[in-house]
Amino acid sequence: MQAVLSGWSCLGRVGTALALFVQMSTVVWAQALPAELAAAWKNTRLPESSLSLVVQEVDGRRLIEVNPQVPRNPASVMKLVSTWAGLSALGPEYTWRTNFMAVGGLHVDEQGTLKGPLYIKAGGDPLLSVPELWDALRQLRLRGVKNISEIVVDRSVFGSVTINPHAFDSAGDRPYNASPDAMMVGLGASRLVFQPDTQAKKWIAMIDPPLPGVRLQGEVQWVDAVCPGSPAVGTEIQAAGNEINIQLSGKAVGSCGEFSVYRLVHSQTDFFSKLVLALWRDLGGTLARGITEGKVPASAQNIVSHESRSLSDLIRVINKQSNNVMARTILLTVGKELQGEGATVRTGEQAVMSVLAQQGVDTRGWVVDNGSGLSRNGRITAGGMAQMLSVAWHSTLMPEFVSSLAISGVDGTVRRRLRDDEVQGRAHLKTGTLRDSRALAGYVLGASGKRYILVSIVNDDRSAAVRPFDDAVVKWLATQ
C-alpha cells in the first residue's frame, strides 16, 4: 500500500516517457489508496499531483504515502509547528509577564502623584484581555497611584514585527489579519454588539470597549424569519482626521437574538493607548502628558505585574480556534527565548527550525515564515509533518499537545465535521484553509485501539474539493 509519487520530473522530457509516467501513476495510485478512498479521491476531480498524503501508525509503520517530500503550503496546519516548538522549547507552564514599573519603585505623594513616569514593560502576552488590563491598573490605584505624568511603553521584547493588516487579502478589518505586538490587548479587536429592539424591529449597535473618536454609522436591516445561523454584517472602517467611522450594512434575522462581530478598528499601538487612557480615567486616575514609546531604565523597580495563563492553556486556544496572531506571538516568543530580545519573524523561524532539528525532524524544503499559516510563502512536507507528530506523540508533552487539537464533531474548527457515530470524538485534528490550500493533520483512534497519524495537504485552485476525501480518510482510519 505504500507508494511515493516523486522523482519523476526527468520523465517529462520526452513524450514517450511522459506517457509511461501517466500509466505508472495510475498503477501507483491504485496501490496507494484503499478502494473506498481511491473512489473518494476520484470524486474530487483534483489532479493527483496536487496531493501529499501520509497515513501511519504512531509506532511509525506507514500505511499510505503519496508525495511525502513535496513542499506545500499547509495553511493553518502550520500552527502545529509553532505550537509544538513552543511547547518543546518553553515548557507547558511557561507564562508571559507584563510589568508596571517606576524609577526607584513606588513613590506617591499625598495627592496620589507617582514620582516620574510609569513604565510598562511589555512581555508579549498572546492573550492579555481587557479585564486583565483593567485589573492591573486597578492594582495601581489600590497602591495609592492616582496621577501619572506620562506612561512609557517598552516593547523591546520583540523587534520590528508590525504588519499591515490589509497586506494579505485586503480585509484589514478582520481579526484574523491582526498584527502581532508585544503589548497586545484583547487581540487588538473591538466588539460590535447588536441588541434586538423587538418592538421597533431594529438593531441597536454598540461598540465595546467604547473608545473616544469611534462612531457607528448606517444600520443592519431587521428581518423577520426563523434564525438561519450567524448573521451577515458588513463593515467599512473609515478614518476621518482623528475620528474613525464604522459604516454598518447587511441583514440580520430578529429571532437570532443579540449577537456580536469583531473588527480591527485601530492599530495595536493606538488601541492599547486609547484603551489604557479610557480605563485609567474610569478608575479615577489622571494622565498629564500621554503615552509614549521607550525603554525601561535599569533603575526602575516593579510595582504591579500581570502573569498570563500558561502556554499549555494558550495553545488550546490557538489550535482549536486557529488563532493567527497568537500563533505569530508564540513563534516570536520562541525566538526571544532562544535568540534574545528584539525577536523578529526571522529569528523566530530560525529558533523553531533549530528546535525541530534537535528532535531529528526532516525539515528539508520547509518555510515556517510567521508560524500562523496565514502566508503565501509557508511550506512543509507531509512526511516531515508526520515525523514531527510522531515525535510529539512519543514525548512526555504529548497530553498537552494532543489536547490542544480540535476534537472531531465536538469542538474547534471540526465541531461541525465528522459527527457520525463511528468517528465523532475519535480524532484530534488541525485544519488549514486558504484560497488555494486545504490541509488536515493530527491523530485518529481506530476501532481496534490503534492510533494513527494523518497528514493531508492539497495545493490547487480547487483545493476546497478535497474536504469529502479528507473526511473519508478519517472515517476509514476510525473503523480500522
The sign of the dihedral angle between the CA atoms of 87, 401, 455, 439 is negative
- 253 and 336, same domain (yes or no): no
Which pLDDT value is given to residue 60? 79
Residues 414 and 352 reside in one and the same domain:
yes
Instruction: Report pLDDT for 6.
Output: 36
Please check whether residues 217 and 285 belong to one and the same domain. Answer: no
What per-residue confidence (pLDDT) applies to 421? 87
Q: How confident is residue 11, by pLDDT bands cut at 50, 70 and 90?
A: very low
Q: Which of 27-31, 154-158, 440-444 has the lowest mean pLDDT?
A: 27-31
Mean pLDDT of the 29-51 span = 87
* Cβ–Cβ under 8 Å, residues 45 and 462: yes
pLDDT at 18 (0 to 100): 37
pLDDT at 232: 86
Point out which residues pair with 286 in neighbouring strands: 147
Q: Is 454 part of any domain? A: yes
Rounded Cα distance, 383 and 441, in Å: 11
Hey, is 387 helix, strand or coil?
helix
The yes-or-no verdict on residue 28 having pLDDT over 60 is: no
Grade residue 59 by pLDDT with cuts at 50, 70 and 90. Answer: confident
Tens of pLDDT, residue by residue over 251-289, are 999 999 999 999 999 999 999 999 999 999 999 999 999
User: Over the stretch 213-228, which tens digit does the pLDDT of each residue have?
Assistant: 999 999 999 999 999 9
Closest to 420 measured CA to CA, from 456, 472, 480: 472
Q: Count of domains in the chain?
A: 3
Alpha-carbon distance of 208 to 273, in angstroms, equals 15
What is the reported pLDDT for 45? 96
Cell digits for 430?
488541525
Determine the structural domain holding residue 207 and report its residue range.
190-263
Radius of gyration for the alpha carbons in the chain, expressed in angstroms and rounded: 25
pLDDT tier for residue 303 given thresholds of 50, 70 and 90:
very high
Asked whether residue 277 falls in the same domain as residue 319, the answer is: no
Identify whether 21 is part of a domain. no
Residue 476 has pLDDT above 60, yes or no: yes
CA–CA gap between residue 348 and residue 326 (Å, rounded): 14
Contact call for residues 321 and 339 (beta carbons, < 8 A): no
> CATH number, domain at 470?
3.40.710.10
Identify the pLDDT of residue 26.
39
Residues 278, 139 share a domain: yes
For residues 366 and 407, state if they share a domain. yes
| In-domain check, residue 46 | yes
Is 240 found in the same domain as 292?
Answer: no
Measure the CA–CA gap between 63 and 1, rounded to whole angstroms. Answer: 6
**Same domain for 394 and 281:** no
Q: Mind listing the pLDDT tens digit for each residue in 331-342?
A: 999 999 999 999
What length is written for the chain?
480
Which domain CATH number covers 284? 3.50.80.20
pLDDT computed for residue 12 by the predictor: 38
Q: Answer yes or no: is 253 within a domain.
A: yes
Q: Give the pLDDT score at 229.
A: 85
Q: What is the pLDDT of residues 69-122, one digit of tens each?
A: 999 999 999 999 999 999 999 999 999 999 999 999 999 999 999 999 999 999
Average predicted confidence (pLDDT) for the chain:
92
Structure confidence at residue 5 as a pLDDT band (50, 70, 90): very low
Q: Looking at residues 346-356, what average pLDDT do you find?
A: 98
CA distance 259 to 256: 8
Residue 249 and residue 350 in one domain:
no
Looking at residue 230, what is its pLDDT?
85
Residue 87 lies in a domain: yes
pLDDT over 90 percentage in the chain: 90
Domain boundary among 284, 308, 332: 308
User: Does one domain contain both 372 and 456?
Assistant: yes
pLDDT at 241: 82
- pLDDT for the residue 21: 39
Helix, strand, coil percent values for the chain (each to nearest 5) = 35, 25, 40
Residues 351 and 458 in one domain: yes
